[in-house]
């Protein structure tokens, strides 16, 4: 088995990675890369159980959104750029018709209306960081347990 070597670009003078750095990372290596608060997080391709759950949720949500002409549903990998030091790839996300201005040719610049994140043991810490995103709704689905729905209020999720 060959070893995968990933080189990390130099950080900013503040020691933070940026979206510009992110764009220089190798593509097509099946390693999920996200920058959260300027720090690089990497994880391998998800397990099959994760993919099955993600597929089922996507199909149900996408069908509902299309039938009701509500917007667009996307699935990973899809870059969500919240700021220059926060670039994430949620498992599934929804952008309403009223929020289409955040869609660009390359990515989504701003907070989606809904994020669905399937949590596994290996990504539990980074998945929970999604709670800090400015989205209105967040669904965290743990493999082997129930679904948690979080709605944004003035005090957070």
Q: What is the pTM of this model?
A: 0.76
Which helix (H) or strand (E) segment is 32 a member of?
A: strand 31-36
For the chain, give the mean pLDDT: 79
pLDDT of 3 reads: 41
Assigned token pair, 32: 């999920």
Dump pLDDT digits (tens) for 94-119: 999 999 999 999 999 998 998 888 87
- CATH label of the domain that carries residue 88: 3.90.1570.10
| Residues 99 and 74: beta-carbon distance below 8 Å | no
Q: Say whether pLDDT at 10 is over 90.
A: no
For residue 41, being part of any structural domain is answered with: no
Q: Which one has a higher pLDDT value, 85 or 136?
A: 85
For residue 114, being part of any structural domain is answered with: yes
Assigned token pair, 40: 């690089």
In the chain, the number of structural domains is: 1
For residue 73, being part of any structural domain is answered with: yes
pLDDT of 43 reads: 84
Strand intervals (E) in 48-155: 71-75, 80-83, 86-88, 92-96, 108-109, 114-119, 137-142, 147-151
Structural domain harbouring 70: 46-151
For residue 119, being part of any structural domain is answered with: yes
For residue 132, being part of any structural domain is answered with: yes
């Amino acid at each position: 088995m060959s070893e995968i070597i990933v080189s990390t670009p130099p950080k900013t003078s503040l020691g933070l990675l940026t979206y510009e750095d992110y764009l220089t990372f190798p593509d097509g290596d099946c390693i999920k890369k996200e920058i959260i608060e300027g720090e690089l997080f990497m994880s391998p391709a998800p397990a099959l159980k994760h993919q099955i759950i993600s597929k089922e949720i996507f199909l149900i949500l996408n069908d509902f959104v299309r039938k009701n002409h509500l917007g667009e549903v996307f699935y990973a990998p899809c870059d969500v750029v919240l700021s220059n030091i926060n670039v994430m790839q949620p498992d599934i996300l929804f952008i309403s018709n009223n929020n289409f201005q955040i869609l660009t040719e390359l990515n989504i610049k701003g907070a989606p209306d809904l994020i669905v994140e399937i949590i596994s043991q290996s990504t539990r810490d980074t998945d929970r960081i999604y709670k800090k995103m400015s989205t209105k709704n967040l669904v965290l689905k743990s493999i082997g347990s129930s679904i948690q729905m979080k709605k944004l209020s003035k005090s957070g999720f």
